[in-house]
Homo-oligomer: A and B are copies of this chain.
Amino acid sequence: MPDTVRMSLDEIHDLSTEVFTANGMSPSNAQVIADVVTAAEGDGTHSHGLFRVPGYVSCMINGRVDGKAVPEVSNAAPGLVAVDSKNGFSPPAIVAGRPLAIKEAKSQGIAALGFRNNGNLNALWWDVESFGEAGLIAIAMSTTRSYVAPWGGDTALFGTDPIAFACPRDNKPPLVFDFATSASARGEIQVAAREGHAIPEGWALDKDGNATTDANAALEGVQLPFGGHKGNAIIIMVELLASGLTGANFCFEAEDQAANFGSADSGPAHAGEIIILIDPAGYHGEFLGRIEGLFDRILAQDGTRIPGDRRYANRAASKEQGVECPMALYEQILAMKAA
| A interface, CB within 8 angstroms of B | 76-80, 82, 107-112, 114, 137, 139, 149-155, 157, 165, 167, 175, 177, 179, 181, 226-231, 233, 236-237, 239-241, 244-247, 250, 252-253, 276, 278-280, 282-284, 286-287, 290-291, 293-294, 297-298, 301-305, 307
Contacts and interface: CB of A to CB of B under 8 A. Distances in A.
B153 A78 contact: no
A307 B245 contact: no
B109 A301 contact: no
A314 B291 CA distance: 41
Identical chains in the assembly? 2
B230 A179 contact: yes
A229 B304 CA distance: 10
A169 B137 CA distance: 29
A279 B112 CA distance: 11
B165 A301 contact: no
A108 B250 contact: no
B157 A297 contact: yes
Chain A interface, DSSP helix/strand/loop, else mixed: mixed
Given A77-B109, A241-B137, A155 B301 contact: yes
A162 to B, nearest CB: 10
A82 B283 contact: yes
A199 to B, nearest CB: 15
A149 B109 CA distance: 32
Contact of A291 (B244, B291, B294): B244
Given A227-B226, A240-B167, A111 B79 contact: yes
Contacts of A236: 175, 177, 294, 298, 307
Contacts of A110: 77, 79-80, 108, 110-112, 276
A77 B112 contact: no
A170 to B, nearest CB: 13
A304 B151 contact: yes
